[in-house]
């Protein structure tokens, strides 16, 4: 019964070219099965194993390239820009407090406002004008 032998054999009758070239002739896994097996082995990793692997790779990259963490000199430009903005805001805060005090004074003097009404304006002006300096004091 030589005509039934290829049906029951594990080896295909005519092996595909890729199997003959790469020496995997005779295996029971074909290319699509092999790819599915590799994909399934990747998906069988737990999320904890994947997160640990990601953390290890990230730590290795950080150790190999420490200049990236220091922004390679670009940080000085950002600091100068923020110092310029802080200077502008300090000038604006002085103007805000001055306007608030003038408004409270005129209101008290010419509109017969009570001290409590003018005190609200003064406190609001001090908080608005001093917000930058208060934050700077609290943060360091």
Is the pLDDT confidence value at 59 over 80?
yes
Q: Which residues contact 94 (CB under 8 A, 6 or more apart)?
A: 129
Pull the structure tokens for residue 39. Answer: 């994909």
Is the pLDDT confidence value at 80 over 70?
yes
Domain ranges, ordered by start, for the chain:
9-69, 71-139
Residue with tokens 């408004």: 103
Question: For the whole prediction, is pTM greater than 0.75?
Answer: no
Give me the pLDDT at residue 9, please: 52
Is the pLDDT confidence value at 1 over 50?
no
Give me the pLDDT at residue 19, please: 53
Is the pLDDT confidence value at 62 over 70?
yes
Neighbour-count burial for 36-49, b at 16+ CB within 10 Å, e otherwise: eeeeeeeeeeeeee
């Amino acid at each position: 019964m030589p005509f039934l032998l290829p049906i029951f054999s594990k080896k295909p009758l005519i092996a595909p070219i890729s199997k003959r070239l790469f020496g995997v002739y005779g295996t029971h896994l074909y290319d699509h099965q092999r790819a599915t097996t590799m994909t399934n082995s990747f998906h069988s990793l737990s999320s904890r194993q994947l997160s640990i692997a990601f953390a290890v790779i990230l730590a290795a990259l950080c150790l190999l390239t420490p200049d990236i963490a220091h922004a390679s000199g670009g940080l000085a430009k950002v600091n100068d820009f923020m110092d310029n903005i802080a200077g502008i805001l300090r000038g604006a805060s002085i103007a805000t407090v001055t306007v608030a005090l003038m408004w409270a004074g005129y209101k008290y003097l010419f509109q017969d406002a009570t001290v409590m009404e003018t005190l609200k304006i003064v406190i609001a002006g001090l908080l608005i004008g001093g917000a930058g300096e208060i934050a700077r004091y609290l943060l360091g």
